[in-house]
């Protein structure tokens, strides 16, 4: 089981089940929100449990981003069309044993 939280601990999550597609996203939105590329795994929505308050920002017509309203930690990315959620690898509690499988939107990467 994967577990994690935001910086202040106000938003926590657990995931039962396989984390898929560990990826580093270099798109401009992920870079602007995280300060660098954003590494995440996909978790089926029915396997993801979230406790505490998470605010959602509609960052594009097709997707939104979840963050802690207290500390601002960027935790989730959710496509409106998909049955899963991108979960921040940097917010995991301890080692995950996962290895990045790919880098996406590399044409958009910064310096």
pLDDT in tens, 11-69: 999 998 778 879 999 988 888 888 888 999 999 999 999 999 999 999 999 999 999 99
Contact 57, 34 (CB under 8 A): no
**In this predicted structure, what is the pLDDT of residue 19?**
86
Distance, in Å, from the CA atom of 11 to the CA atom of 70, rounded to the nearest integer, reads 9
**2-108 CATH choice from 2.60.40.420, 3.40.50.2020, 2.40.30.10, 2.170.150.70:** 2.170.150.70
Which residue reads 């979230």 in tokens? 50
Q: Determine the 3-state secondary structure of 8 from DSSP.
A: coil
- Name the token pair of 34: 């995280």
Query: What is the domain partition of the chain in residue ranges?
Result: 2-108
Place of tokens 């300060």: 35
- Supply the pTM of this predicted model: 0.90
pLDDT of res. 82: 92
pLDDT of residue 35: 86
96 sits in which H/E element: none
Condensed to tens digits (0 to 9), the pLDDT of residues 60-104 reads 999 999 999 999 999 999 999 999 999 999 999 999 889 999 998
Beta strands in the chain (DSSP E): 2-5, 11-15, 20-25, 38-44, 48-52, 55-60, 63-67, 74-79, 84-88, 102-104
């Amino acid at each position: 089981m994967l577990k994690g939280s935001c910086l202040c601990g106000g938003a926590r999550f657990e995931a039962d089940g396989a984390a898929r597609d560990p990826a580093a996203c270099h798109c401009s939105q992920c870079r602007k929100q995280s300060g660098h590329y954003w590494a995440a795994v996909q978790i089926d929505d029915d396997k993801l449990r979230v406790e505490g308050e998470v605010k959602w920002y509609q960052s594009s017509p097709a997707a939104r981003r979840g963050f802690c309203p207290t500390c601002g930690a960027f935790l989730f990315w959710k496509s409106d069309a998909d049955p899963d959620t991108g979960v921040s690898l940097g917010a995991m509690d301890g080692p995950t044993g996962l290895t990045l499988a790919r880098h996406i939107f590399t044409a958009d990467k910064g310096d």
